[in-house]
């Protein structure tokens, strides 16, 4: 209902000819009015100035959570308690189960509010958005008895660290479509310190699990969150299509956090990784596609992958790696606009006899290496094998590799590029043909 005011001329009509002469008939009245105006202006200016200064002392206003799905839930709706002590696995499972019934309605969104939400591993469902609010932390239980065991990946035939079963991931998904994990830079924390210590002490009987693993799925978006301290590989998309990973921060200690790769696309197709900061205890990014005869038999390549606008660091391995498990093939990969800093190696291709398959059509463009020990490596004797069933004559084919606009500085260049690499000018014309093979093993060890 809209209220209206009467338009009666006798009440609301303003007659300036009668009011102005009466108001300003005395100079004293005019003088007093001017002082009121000046005082009011000073008061308003002072209040605005103080308020402007005080924004540096007050916390920023609460950011409302966006709504991405027609139905939205809060984790506390399912009894969760974010005190860092209460185990909330059942709450996550109930929430996911509820959302799994909403696929025909467009799915559901689960908001994780500020707090520390301790949980064992749980699964996602299709048509789901997991939204981590600012200052929210999903904490993984660091006791392996709460982590389910899964069969080895079919393209590996082995648990990677131990034969047989492997631990699942903290956040897991299989055979899914239309999944979003995002937020206001909330955090998923794997609390990997216990896992790393047990691994070094050889106290684990199964391969450690990733922090986030999505398998056999499509239409996946992961953005605007922090992943840290994974027990093993941090973010592992496996046999997925149409995956976008952007605006991510991925962290693990640079040392004594074994195999904490940042992002490992594995037998994935049509993938974008952009605008991320990654500093971890192994490869920042490692593109894979299966291990020796198991990868050859599985036959799923990684292809059509664009990696751009990253800042990465790795003091143990490399900034961007391809392999070493590449037995399903890797092709059409573009790496551009990447800063690799304070790292042992910058970009590396690693394979071995027994892998088979191919690495082809790989381009590196506009890369900057800052305080990097070795810039570019292609290594063909990375001799890790799941078992002795591999074919030693299955030699991988490497072709169509290009590097352009590579910027860096160092005290030593080895081997001399003019002798061991084809040299081209800026127009792409061959200036000098390589005259020898690269036989050096400088820092090519694991």
Answer yes or no: 282 catalytic.
Answer: yes
Element at 200 (helix H, strand E): helix 193-200
| Positions of E strands within 252-329 | 269-280, 285-287, 302-314, 318-323
Question: What DSSP letter does each residue of 311-378 carry, written as one string?
Answer: EEEESSSEEEEEESS-TT-EEEEEEEEEEEEEEEEEEEEE--TT--SEEEEEEEEEEEEEEEEEEEEE
Say if CB 250 and CB 227 are below 8 A apart: yes
Collect all residues with Cβ–Cβ distance below 8 Å to 430 and sequence separation of at least 6.
422, 423, 424
Which tokens is 69 given? Answer: 């799905």
Cα distances (Å, whole numbers) of residue 117 to 69, 74, 114, 312: 23, 13, 9, 28
Which phi and psi (to 5°) does residue 199 adopt? -65, -45
Q: Is 304 left (phi over 0), alpha (psi -120 to 50) or beta?
A: left
Cα distance between residue 238 and residue 403, in whole Å: 27
Marked catalytic residue, from 261, 264, 282, 292? 282
Q: Is the dihedral of CA 430, 360, 446, 276 positive or negative?
A: positive
Residues known to be catalytic? 282
């Amino acid at each position: 209902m809209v209220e209206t005011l009467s338009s009666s001329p006798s009440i609301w009509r303003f007659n300036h000819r009668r009011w102005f002469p009466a108001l300003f008939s005395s100079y004293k009245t005019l003088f007093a009015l001017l002082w009121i105006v000046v005082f009011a202006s000073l008061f308003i200016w002072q209040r605005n100035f103080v308020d402007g200064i005080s924004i540096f002392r007050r916390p920023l206003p609460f950011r409302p959570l966006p709504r991405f799905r027609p139905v939205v839930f809060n984790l506390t709706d399912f009894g969760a308690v974010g005190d860092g002590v209460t185990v909330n696995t059942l709450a996550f499972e109930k929430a996911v189960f509820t959302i799994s019934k909403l696929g025909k309605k467009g799915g559901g969104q689960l908001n994780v509010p500020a707090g520390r939400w301790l949980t064992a591993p749980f699964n996602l469902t299709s048509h789901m958005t997991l939204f981590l609010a600012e200052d929210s932390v999903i904490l993984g239980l660091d006791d392996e008895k709460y982590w389910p065991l899964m069969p080895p990946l079919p393209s590996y035939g082995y648990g990677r660290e131990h034969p047989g079963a492997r631990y699942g991931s903290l956040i897991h998904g299989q055979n899914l479509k239309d999944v979003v994990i995002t937020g206001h830079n909330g955090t998923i924390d794997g609390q990997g310190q216990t896992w790393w210590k047990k691994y070094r002490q050889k106290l684990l009987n199964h391969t450690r699990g990733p922090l986030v693993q999505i398998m056999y799925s499509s239409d996946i978006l992961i953005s605007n969150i922090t992943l840290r301290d994974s027990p093993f590989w941090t973010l592992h998309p496996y046999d997925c299509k149409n995956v976008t990973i952007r605006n991510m921060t991925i962290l693990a200690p640079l040392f004594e956090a074994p195999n904490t790769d940042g992002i490992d696309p594995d037998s994935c197709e049509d993938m974008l990784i952009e605008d991320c900061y990654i500093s971890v205890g192994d490869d920042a990014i490692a593109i894979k596609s299966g291990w020796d005869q198991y990868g050859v038999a599985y036959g799923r390549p990684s292809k059509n992958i664009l990696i751009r606008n990253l800042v990465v660091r790795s003091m143990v391995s490399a900034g961007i790696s391809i392999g070493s498990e590449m037995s399903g093939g890797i092709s059409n990969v573009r790496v551009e606009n990447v800063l690799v800093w304070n790292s042992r190696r910058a970009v590396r291709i690693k394979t071995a006899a027994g892998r088979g398959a191919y690495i082809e059509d790989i381009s590196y463009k506009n890369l900057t290496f800052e305080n990097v020990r070795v810039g570019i490596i292609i290594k063909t004797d990375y001799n890790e094998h799941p078992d002795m069933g591999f074919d030693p004559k299955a030699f991988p084919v490497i072709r169509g590799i290009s590097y352009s606009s590579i910027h860096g500085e160092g005290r030593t260049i080895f081997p001399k590029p003019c002798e061991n690499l084809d040299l081209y000018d800026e127009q792409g014309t061959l200036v000098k043909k390589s005259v020898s093979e690269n036989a050096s093993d400088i820092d090519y060890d694991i």
